Each structure stands twice: as C-alpha cells, then as structure tokens.
Structure 1
Amino acid sequence: MTRGPQRIVCLTEEPTEALYALGEQHRIVGISGFTVRPAIARKEKPKVSAFTSAKIGEILKLRPDFVIGFSDIQADIAAELIRHGVEVWISNHRSVDEILDYIRRLGALVGAADKANAYADELQRGLAVIEREAATLPRRPKVYFEEWDEPLITGIRWVAELVRIAGGDDIFPERAAESLAKQRILEDGSEVVRRAPDIVLGSWCGKKFRPDRVASRPGWAAIPAVRDGELHEIKSPLILQPGPAALTEGVAEIARIIRAWAAKR
C-alpha cells in the first residue's frame, strides 16, 4: 500500500533536493523556479513559485495534496493555499541540527522514515569528519559571512554553525542567533572593520559576489581579510538553502577556504 502524499509542490529547493536524495522524487509535481539542485529537477518538474511569490493558479491546477515551504517569508503564499483547501507545511529550521531533523520529518511525512534517518545519519557523519579535520588547524580564523550587500546582511544561524564546524569563528554570532533577516542587517559597516575578520565569505543571494566592491568600502582596507586578499564567494545554492547542499558541498567549500588560509600561516 502506498503511503503519504502523492502530489507534492515544493516552494523552495531543499525539500526537492531531499526528496530526490531519498528516491521519492516521483511525488513532486511542482518546484521553485530557484531550484538548481539536483539539476534534473529543473528539466523534469514545472516551476510554479519564486521565494516570496507563487503562481497560485498554476499550483492549484497541479492538484497538490501537500505543499512544502520555508519560513515566515512564505506565510502569505501558505495562507492563500490553505484558503483553497490545500494542506501546507511551512518549516522554519535555522540550525544544523534542525536541518537534520527536517530531513527526518520530511521522510516520515512521505512514508520513507527509514531512508530519511539513514540519510540524515550519513550527513551527520560527514560533518563530524570535517569537524575532526578542523580541530587539527593551528589557528582558527575569524570569518565574516555576508548574505547581501545592500544593505549588509550577516550570516544566518546554520551558516555560522557550518563555519565553526569547518574551523572558523563567525564574527557576528549574536546576529546569527536571530531568526529574521531584518535582525541580521548591519546598520554600521564599520562594525566589520572593528571585528577584523581574517576571511570574508560572500554569498549574495541570486547575484555574483564582487570582492572588488567589498575591498573598496570606506575603511575596509584595514581588515585583515581585505589586506590579505581573503575575499571568497560561496555560491548561494550551496549554502543559503537549509538543506542537504549546505551540509555537504557548502561546508566542504568553507573548510577548503579555511584550510588554504591556515596553510599560508
């Protein structure tokens, strides 16, 4: 007997990536237009949403029995679908542990709990390997993660945690603990100068990171990362989605940058 929802619309990338990883992609009937992982999803599935907006009519035509979204930012989309009688799950996971738990819950919801638990365990083991390697570094760099440049927005909680796992220390841990993006806006860019990061990681959601623009900000020439040319882009699909990508390729890329920084010292 087949269990769980059979016609799922994913409003963000991470449930799509997770369901493909679990071999449950046949349940997906619609995805976010921002989905890039796995690449085959863009070819196979109709794109029916952005992040803050969605084609409600197109979603309803797909006759979904379950819609999965993420965060307060998609509350209006969820409310409209609920008014049309659609069952909606809006997750709000913000930490590494919550991402792992999200994968377990998603698996349980589609009747694939055993596969999801095994997959989450595998992801956790991968993180443990990176953390053990990072423990051998002679020194931990201070890291500034920039999610957006106008205004400056610092890294979200799972990013700060992945930086720590990879061997660095996020310079704005108090901001990372905040759940809303508006609480991570830096009113004063000179605060980055004062905290003197050794490495700057940029992931400007949806547009290319420009190290030259960062380096030319008033006063930023004094930052060790700028002085030493340690301004690096992490592609947003690898780190800004609270799903499998961040826990695999995203954290691996951060660890690679930190190891290269340490090797020079």
Structure 2
Amino acid sequence: MGPRRIVCLTEEPTEVLYALGEQDRIVGISGFTVRPARARREKPKVSAFTSAKIEAILALRPDFVVGFSDIQADIAAELVRRGVEVWISNHRSVDGVLDYVRRLGALVGASARADAYADALARGLEAIADASAALHARPKVYFEEWDDPLITGIGWVAELVRIAGGDDVFPELAAEPLAKARILADGAPVVARAPDIILGSWCGKKFRPEKVAARPGWSAIPAVRDGELHEIRSPLILQPGPAALTDGVGEIARIIRRWADRRA
C-alpha cells in the first residue's frame, strides 16, 4: 500500500509520482514546482528549497515527506522531531536519477510502473547519445550554474552534456557534489579552457549572455566570439529528476547539434 499522504519538498518526486499515476498520494509540494503544470493548480505549496512551512506541512497530516540533499537537512530534522517519516535522497548522477525513480516507485507500491518509466528514460538517453555520436565535432562546453560567484555545473549536468555530444570543461569540479566546491575565484580558468559553447542556468533568475560576454578577457573565448551563449532554464536541468533526463538534455543536444552542423 505504501504512504498515502506525501509531501514533496522538491519538484522531482512530484514529477515522478505524477508520471506513475500516483499523484493522489501527494498532499503538498514545493513552491518551485513547475512540472507538471497541473501540480501547481492541484496541490498546496508548503516549502521552498532551503525553508519550509513546518506547521502547514504538519496540518496536512503527512505520513511521508520526500526531500533532497544536505541542503534540506534542517527541514528534515525538524519534521523528524515532530514525528514525521522523512526520506532525503542524495542522488547526483544520471544513474542516480534512474535509481531514484525506481526506489520512489517501490516505496509507493508501484515498482513495475517505476521500472518501466526508468527504462523509458534510459532509452531516451541512449537515443540522444547514439545521435550525438554521429556529429562531425564535439564542442567544449562550459556550464554556469551561478554568476556571482561563478559556479560550474554539477555531476549530472556534465554527464548530460557528454550524452548530448559535448565535453564539460570542468570535469574535475563536476565530481564535487556541493556547490561551494565548484566555485571559481575568477573567470580566468574559463578563458584558459576556451569553451566552444557556454550554457547558463542561473537558478531563480534569467541568464544574461551580454553580461557574460562583457566579462574581462572573455572576448577571447570561442563561445563568446561566435555568439554561442545559451540559456537552459533551471527547472529543466538543475533538479536531478525526469526533466533533466528529457527536456533538459534534449535542449543541450539541440544546441550542440546546431553548433556541429555549422561546422560540418
């Protein structure tokens, strides 16, 4: 049977449960949820990412709360102290997302549907990887998660860039799970690594290519010289859930494909 009254503190469990047809179990969601769109209309919003309305959550009488990462540790701890069962996942890779889908499905008694959904997501990634393997060239890609300070892309983002046909220029930083470990002191390392494409996804605000291009010394970067600065909207890529493995990687693949076609 599994839990019947679930509060989702981030978007990815909401998207997964809707995809599995288990949305009736959800009684509260994150205010940052945009997928699926109907969830915002149907479910009360009771949390942000680093904060939550604890009393509002308790009023919903949840028997299970799902959150993500150390960033939500304080929320989880308070709910546990108040007698609520909480699951904090900490997946930060493509395989981790697929496993997360399977585990969440198992927790609500929908293992078969979750396995089928995860398999379909994996097949979609394989199709993108196969198409990308046929490209005439692979671009070097700089993914910027934040602009002040400069924060480079996390692990699953670097993996999706590779699947889409590019190579992340900071693979050693992508392996770092915490944002503070991916901060660049200045833009010099980006200039030195000369990315062909710059992807920006500034969580909570619009990416400004003109501001990036105007940074000191960045005019020498191939991506800036060629006008290859693109926004990937944060809901599509910065949460380790189905959105990143479908629309997020799809958008990256389209940008890389256009870049490669112009150089064929």
- TM-score bracket for the superposition, by shorter chain length: over 0.9
2:80 to 78, 82, 96: 82
**Alignment match, 1:97:** 95
Give the secondary structure class of the aligned counterpart of 2:184: coil
**Alignment match, 2:258:** 260
CA deviation after TM superposition for structure 1 residue 145, in Å: 0.2
Q: How does 1:204-243 map to 2 (within 5 A)?
A: 204-243=202-241
Give the secondary structure class of the aligned counterpart of 2:61: coil
After superposition, give the CA deviation of every residue in 1:8-32 in whole Å (9 maximum; x if it has no partner): 0000000000000000000000000
Letter of the structure 2 residue corresponding to residue 42 of structure 1:
R
CA deviation after TM superposition for structure 1 residue 206, in Å: 1.0
**Alignment match, 2:165:** 167
Q: How does 1:59-208 map to 2 (within 5 A)?
A: 59-208=57-206
Letter of the structure 1 residue corresponding to residue 246 of structure 2:
T
Give the secondary structure class of the aligned counterpart of 1:102: helix
Give the secondary structure class of the aligned counterpart of 1:255: helix
Letter of the structure 2 residue corresponding to residue 109 of structure 1:
L
Number of equivalences: 263
CA deviation after TM superposition for structure 1 residue 187, in Å: 1.2
Letter of the structure 2 residue corresponding to residue 141 of structure 1:
P
2:22 to 21, 24, 35: 24
Q: Structure 2 CA distance, aligned partners of 1:45 and 1:186?
A: 39
**Alignment match, 1:8:** 6
CA deviation after TM superposition for structure 1 residue 208, in Å: 0.3
CA deviation after TM superposition for structure 1 residue 46, in Å: 0.1
Matched-pair identity in %: 81
Give the secondary structure class of the aligned counterpart of 2:227: coil
Q: Structure 2 CA distance, aligned partners of 1:131 and 1:74?
A: 33
Give the secondary structure class of the aligned counterpart of 2:177: coil
**Alignment match, 1:41:** 39
Letter of the structure 1 residue corresponding to residue 29 of structure 2:
I
CA deviation after TM superposition for structure 1 residue 205, in Å: 0.4
TM-score of the two chains, using structure 1 as the length reference: 0.99
CA deviation after TM superposition for structure 1 residue 246, in Å: 0.3
Give the secondary structure class of the aligned counterpart of 1:258: helix
Q: Structure 1 CA distance, aligned partners of 2:74 and 2:178?
A: 16
CA deviation after TM superposition for structure 1 residue 227, in Å: 0.1
Q: Structure 2 CA distance, aligned partners of 1:102 and 1:181?
A: 21
CA deviation after TM superposition for structure 1 residue 148, in Å: 0.4
Unmatched tracts of structure 1, length 5 or more? none
Unmatched tracts of structure 2, length 5 or more? none
Q: Structure 1 CA distance, aligned partners of 2:72 and 2:148?
A: 22
Q: Structure 1 CA distance, aligned partners of 2:210 and 2:145?
A: 16
TM-score of the two chains, using structure 2 as the length reference: 0.99
Q: Structure 2 CA distance, aligned partners of 1:144 and 1:258?
A: 12
1:56 aligned to 2:64? no
CA deviation after TM superposition for structure 1 residue 188, in Å: 2.3
Letter of the structure 2 residue corresponding to residue 95 of structure 1:
S
Q: Structure 2 CA distance, aligned partners of 1:253 and 1:186?
A: 25
